[in-house]
Amino acid sequence: MKKATIYTGCGDNGTTSLTHGTRVPKDHPRVEAYGTIDELNACIGLLHACLPAEHHTTIERIENNLLTIGCALADEQCNQAPIKEEEIALLEQEIDRLEADLPPMHKFILPCSNEAAARANLCRTVCRRAERRLVTLQHEYPATPCTATYINRLSDYLFLLQRQLAAGAEKKWEKPCM
């Protein structure tokens, strides 16, 4: 029996396989979308490592949802929503909970209060990029609206989580927008 290996050489020509074997360029919009979702999940894993235990259940649910989204995006035959409305509702409940404990924001904030807050901000920016990749994908291939809505809510959640993790030590941006 031959030992399995991680390298196959199949992608050396700049292509990769989708779930059902279709070969596409590695910069295909579908690969860009699920690759950015994967990157987001890696960033969230890094964030998870420094979060207080009170956030672990929510973050683990998000990590599972992102894997589900990535798998659906890699499946060119998938035509059902990988994320249910209840997952969006749960994120919205978390957003409401976080927002209720935060003071109103009147200026942009700098992402530099502490490591956990900075990690949450990095996750937020990667999440926004993932959302842009989903929009690009939707121009050519229908993606489910629930997926885009979930990713949009997730970036809001990560922004508020960043603010909460800053624990009142947010640094305000003092320059006006031009």
Task: Please state the domain extents for the chain.
Answer: 24-100+108-166
Q: What is the CATH number of domain 24-100+108-166?
A: 1.20.1200.10
CA–CA gap between residue 127 and residue 133 (Å, rounded):
10
CA–CA gap between residue 60 and residue 55 (Å, rounded):
9
Query: Average pLDDT of 16-25?
Result: 71
CA–CA gap between residue 127 and residue 65 (Å, rounded):
13
Check: CB of residue 149 under 8 Å from CB of residue 170.
no
Q: Residue 36 corresponds to which tokens in the numbers above? A: 């950015």
Which DSSP category does 75 fall into?
-
Q: Is the pTM of this model over 0.75?
A: yes
pLDDT of residue 6: 74
Residue 123 — pLDDT band, cuts 50, 70, 90? very high
Q: Does residue 29 register a pLDDT over 90?
A: no
Of the candidates 125, 124, 144, the one whose C-alpha atom is nearest the C-alpha of residue 134 is 144
Check: CB of residue 102 under 8 Å from CB of residue 157.
no
